[in-house]
Amino acid sequence: MPVKDRPRLILGSASPRRLELLGQIGIVPDALRPADIDETPYPGEAPREYVRRMALEKAEALALAADEAVLCADTTVSVGRRILGKPTDRAEAGTFMRLMSGRRHLVLTAIALRHAGRTRLRLVETKVRMRPIEPAALENYLDIGDWQGKAGGYAIQGAAAAFIPWIQGSFSAVVGLPLSETATLLASVGIHPTPKGRDA
């Protein structure tokens, strides 16, 4: 598809991490248009269903022109059937980290691409293991404040990396956007990396 005929890409997110990740694969959105939805899980909602619903609802919430495609994503952390969203305060962040300390948890990232009346959805699962976290190390981590605004209370590319010796799956999905799956979805509607120096 010629560059001029490809849809305009709208990133339905205010996350600087997702914008940076797209840039890593040579994708520059034409606009940022964060979706504002209620992210409260339904009673008894399973983590996989929740994260899929969030990505879809974000994609459906945005008004699009005929020549636009919107990419939305949602990331959540689950321990068993418990959903660990963004902690509301330091105490909740500490609760989340203690829950994950010394065990494995699952990071679920769903991506939704809406274009021309169709929405494509992918769910990527990554297993993450945290080593046992000593109380003093946890207090220091909480003092740093890197837990704020992060699903599960941590960012794998931040200070919590010191607690994570092993992952199985997609590192970029844990950061917030599974790049291989995202590139495939975008290519399916004619959006490809733009070589440096060439206008999209």
pLDDT tens-digit profile of 51-70? 999 999 999 999 999 999 99
Q: Answer whether residue 199 is part of any domain.
A: no
Decide the pairing of beta strands 118-129 and 166-168: antiparallel
As for how many domains the chain has, the answer is: 1
CB 81 within 8 A of CB 49: no
Residues spanned by the domain of 83: 3-188
pLDDT > 50? residue 200: no
pLDDT for 2: 46
Q: Answer whether residue 198 is part of any domain.
A: no
Q: Answer whether residue 173 is part of any domain.
A: yes
pLDDT for 3: 54
Q: Answer whether residue 194 is part of any domain.
A: no
Q: Answer whether residue 197 is part of any domain.
A: no
DSSP 8-state code for residue 13: -
- The catalytic residue positions are 74
Question: Looking at residue 167, which CATH number applies to its domain?
Answer: 3.90.950.10
> Hey, which residues does 110 pair with through a beta bridge?
74, 123
Burial class of residue 166 in the structure, from the number of CB atoms within 10 Å of its CB (0-12 exposed, 13-18 middle, 19+ buried): exposed
Q: Answer whether residue 200 is part of any domain.
A: no
pLDDT > 60? residue 194: yes
Q: Answer whether residue 193 is part of any domain.
A: no
Task: Summarize the confidence of residues 93-110 as an average pLDDT.
Answer: 98
Q: What is the mean pLDDT of the chain?
A: 94
**pLDDT cut 90: percent of the chain above it:** 92
